[in-house]
Structure 1
Amino acid sequence: MATPKHVKFCTHQKVGILLIFSVGFGFFLQSSSSSEETRCESSSNSNNSYCGFRKYIMESYFEKYDSLLEPNFQNFIVDELLFNTCKLLPDNLNHLLRVSVPWRHLIGEGSHRHISSTIRFHMQPDSMSQLRAHFCKVIIIERLPTGVFADPFELQHLLKRGVFTDVAVFGDTNLELPSVLSNQSAVEIHMNVAPTSLLGHISELEISADLPLHARYPPLDDSGYSEVEFGEPEMFLRCSMEENGDHESCLLMPTNDRTGSRTDKVVWRIPSGIRAHAGIVSAVTFLAASISTLLIVLTSIFYSDSKLCNNLKES
């Protein structure tokens, strides 16, 4: 029969063996992860892959920058995106693929509206057939001005309905802040593209993107309106390429075709308080609050007196 000391020793021995296996397995996973990162970084540095970036382009951007300033974003495109191109892309890529935004409008009224865009890709069928793309997705990056925001929860509902393949909001995601206290945010949208669309069967590919937006509380303005101006979205194509058995994820940046894009600006005029009326509104609000407080106090006193009188009569 085993003694208590022997049982205790066996228990400790089993625990020790489990700990040794756990630590060894953890080191194995860490070394595997490190080797994967090393392979990815070396491949990225040699311009052979796009694996140096995350699932979302803006996720990589905000790992390096804190805000959506125009110089920072353009530097990111030139230094990071253009530099990390894969070897399977042809040299005349800029002439193969062009993009334009022929239609871009705000839909709806009030403080909840949609910005709807029609994006058209122009391709040379004979040249695009050289890409051997097995799977592609369109990436749209909407850099929103400070006066509006996109609700991440609302976008998740659209994602579940299959409107987008992937979607995420980056930057200032605080939905309660007014315009004067908020910063810019960006929405990155992914939409799948049929492989036959990029293999020479058609010369144009047109997609539509409808993004729901909400207006923030604007600052006071003499005109009674605060104008928010939208710029053009950034468009990319991320394709899974194959050549000689090698698979790579390549990012294509089409040339912007200004001749096919709309020239007028998209402006959202959001109603705001008039600066000259601020004093009157403050005075009326203070007066209404004072009268309401006085009525509450008088009602409480009257109710207490009437209750006291009823108690005296009953006694």
Structure 2
Amino acid sequence: CSEIILRQEFLKDGFHRDLLIKVKFGESIEELQTCRLLIKHYIPTGLFVDPYELASLREKNLTEAVMVSESFNVEAPNYLSEESEVLIYARQDAQCIDCFQAFLPVHYRYHRPHKKDGDTLIVVSNPDLLMYCDQGEDYKVASTS
């Protein structure tokens, strides 16, 4: 793929937010209508995704996302947590022919108290993008990070 633009944006304020992921492809991929985009996202210890919330959203057909991490505690603070992994199928954006988007509800974990008032920095890395395009008898699989 010659050009891929990935944009991640947090929506809402507070401890309960939505991570909006938008992916725009350049002109190198023809007929994106036959393609599926899988986003493999690593969630840092300062955040968590509620697997029960994901199951509810899947039932309502609002998202196609699933937790990969098996031992997962939504109650644990960040210093007792591990990075988790989520797989999300992105949907094609109706307003952009070369675009896919997905949203993921995320929640902030509690952090250790510290003496100074201030913000806590949580770094959300770029996800892995895996694309499958069905081209009839021939098929293409593209993978990017």
TM-score (normalised: structure 2): 0.80
What is the aligned partner in structure 2 of residue 90 from structure 1? none
Query: 1:100 aligned to 2:10?
Result: no
Instruction: Name the CA distance, whole Å, in 1 between partners of 2:78 and 2:28.
Output: 44
Distance change >3 Å, CA 124–CA 251, structure 1 → 2? closer
* SS of residue in 2 equivalent to 1:226: coil
Letter in 1 for 2:79: V
Instruction: Name the CA distance, whole Å, in 2 between partners of 1:117 and 1:186.
Output: 15
What is the aligned partner in structure 2 of residue 236 from structure 1? 130
Q: Say how many residue pairs are matched.
A: 142
Q: What's the CA shift for 1:210?
A: 1.8
Residue identity over aligned pairs, in percent, reads: 23
Query: 1:136 aligned to 2:74?
Result: no
Residues 77 and 111 in structure 2, CA contact (< 8 A), matched pair in contact too: yes
Instruction: Name the CA distance, whole Å, in 2 between partners of 1:162 and 1:123.
Output: 30
* SS of residue in 2 equivalent to 1:218: coil
Q: Structure 1 or 2: larger strand share?
A: 2
Unpaired segments ≥5 residues, structure 2: none
What is the aligned partner in structure 1 of residue 28 from structure 2? 124
What is the aligned partner in structure 2 of residue 112 from structure 1? 16
Distance change >3 Å, CA 240–CA 176, structure 1 → 2? same
Extract structure 1 runs of 4+ deviating beyond 6 A.
Answer: none
What is the aligned partner in structure 2 of residue 221 from structure 1? 114
What is the aligned partner in structure 2 of residue 209 from structure 1? 102
Equivalent position to 1:178, from 56, 72, 77: 77
Structure with bigger RCO (C-alpha 8 Å, 6+ apart): 2
Instruction: Name the CA distance, whole Å, in 1 between partners of 2:33 and 2:101.
Output: 22
Q: What's the CA shift for 1:175?
A: 0.8
Instruction: Name the CA distance, whole Å, in 2 between partners of 1:153 and 1:143.
Output: 18
Structure number with bigger Rg: 1
Instruction: Name the CA distance, whole Å, in 2 between partners of 1:240 and 1:192.
Output: 16
TM-score (normalised: structure 1): 0.40
Equivalent position to 2:54, from 155, 165, 169: 155
Residues 142 and 188 in structure 1, CA contact (< 8 A), matched pair in contact too: yes
* SS of residue in 2 equivalent to 1:157: helix
